[in-house]
Amino acid sequence: MSTLPAQQSAAHLLPGRQVHTDPGLMAQIVAAAADAIFSEDLDGRITSWNAGAERLYGRPAREMLGKDTETLLPEETAEQLGNVHALALSGERVEHFDTWHLRPDGTRVPISLTVSPLRDASGAVAGLATIAKDVTERLQHSAALEEAHRTLEKQHVALRRSNRDLEQFAYVASHDLAEPLRVMTGFVQLLEKRYADVLDERGRRYVFHVVDGAARMRILIGDLLEYSRFLRSEPGSEAVDTNAVARRAVASADAADVEIGDLPAVWCDEAAVFAVLQNLISNAVKFHRPDLTSHVKVAGEVIDGVVQLSVDDDGIGIEEEYRERVFGMFSRLHVREEYAGTGIGLAIVQQVAERSDGRAWVETSPLGGCRFCITLPAPPKSRGTA
């Protein structure tokens, strides 16, 4: 069995240099190290055992010196670690090998091993030095991370499923309900036309309500179908001329007093941008103050590579507490008799924003009413030009 003075291995690490170390210095460093550091001879008997090893394995040096390192190995890792030792004995250093060692009470401690050959004065391998790092904390962290990852994955699957269900529901509700509704409406209209003189006043009123209800249901179903179109489709990837779309939206909203600023192009699809501007402009016009027509301003700017479009009005405004709720499906703050509508417009606006990773919100306008804003991506070449 060769003896291996500590300073000899330090000299070996710095070939060609004269190392003038206090002979006890390396021993002190090894003693102070947080990790377990021990050496063994060619027969696997322990020749040194630092304080870190005493802490990690819970065994004092006096008990371990001369002991076989096999006492540290759980049965299932013996073969694997035998291979690591064989490799180190052949002259190679094995770094950061994750495995388990045994404590005297039989518990396993997860460790990361670095095993280096130790050479004698002639350069022949005379033993092994092992640094064992306790990686319990790292394992706990990675187990917690994996658990968090699994939970996220599960939530993601559940969310995707519920989104798919919602898309399916919106589509089925809007598409398949349209057909029976058409049949009902047709026959009630026939009833109204052909049997008007057979029915008394009350009968005619009932039929009128059925026809009216069916007409409203048709609009609702149409709105739902429009909404589900944006739920089901990916955002487009084309540069949309927002100015032209805004002019079309103003024409379709039959709005008079609408100012359109110089709007930047967005990276989306024309149908979606039209739906957004048409809904926001028609709302701005619709929710005017009693006896006054609205003054509406459409503006846009590029902020940090993202286009922010805004529609301002001097209408009735929305109280702070309702500003999130108005984006919900069929969510309205007024009865039909006061302001017509089904409450799907802003849900579409929000859907268009979200499918492009944008945002839609409402704040108070300097004009006195609402300022609705939406962010959409800018076309690639204009990104980064704030």
For strands 306-313 and 296-303, give the pairing.
antiparallel
Total chain residues near ligand ATP (CB under 6 A):
24
Task: Work out how close the CB of 209 gets to ligand ATP at its nearest, in angstroms, rounded to a whole number.
Answer: 21
Quote the strand ranges of the chain, DSSP E.
36-41, 46-49, 94-102, 108-119, 125-134, 238-240, 258-260, 266-268, 296-303, 306-313, 360-364, 370-377
Q: Which of 50, 283, 308, 350 binds Mg ion (CB under 5 A)?
A: 283
Which two structure tokens, joined as six digits, stand for 348? 């579409």
Q: Which tokens hold the place of 140?
A: 């706990």
Residue 289's identity, in one-letter code, is R
Q: How far is the CB of 135 from ligand ATP (least distance, A)?
A: 56
By residue count, the chain amounts to 386
Give the separation between CA 43 and CA 118, rounded to whole angstroms. 13
Q: Does 345 bind Mg ion (CB under 5 A)?
A: yes
Q: How far is the CB of 314 from ligand ATP (least distance, A)?
A: 10
Residue 326 binds which entry of Mg ion, ligand ATP, none, CB below 5-8 Å type-dependent: ligand ATP
Nearest to 310 by CA among 277, 354, 343: 277
**Among 127, 264, 369, 377, which residue sits at the site for ligand ATP (rule: CB under 6 A)?**
369
Of Mg ion, ligand ATP, none, which one sits near residue 314, judging by CB under 5 to 8 A according to partner kind? Answer: none
The reply to whether 278 sits near Mg ion by the rule CB under 5 A is no
Question: Of these, 334, 338, 366, 384, which contacts ligand ATP (CB under 6 A)?
Answer: 334
- Does 279 contact ligand ATP by CB under 6 A? yes
Q: What are phi and psi of 112, to 5 degrees?
A: -110, 120
C-beta of 48 vs 283, nearer to Mg ion: 283
Tell me which residues in 64-123 interact with ligand ATP (CB under 6 A): none
Residue 295 contacts residue 362 (beta carbons within 8 Å):
no
Chain centroid offset of residue 329 CA: 24
| Region from 94-102, 202-210, 237-245, 345-353 binding ligand ATP, contact rule CB under 6 A | 345-353
d(CA 126, CA 92): 13
Q: Which of 127, 235, 345, 377 lies at the binding interface for ligand ATP (CB under 6 A)? A: 345
What does the binding site for Mg ion look like in residue numbers (CB under 5 A)?
Answer: 283, 345
What does the binding site for ligand ATP look like in residue numbers (CB under 6 A)?
Answer: 223, 279, 283-284, 287, 313, 315-318, 326, 331-334, 341-347, 369-370
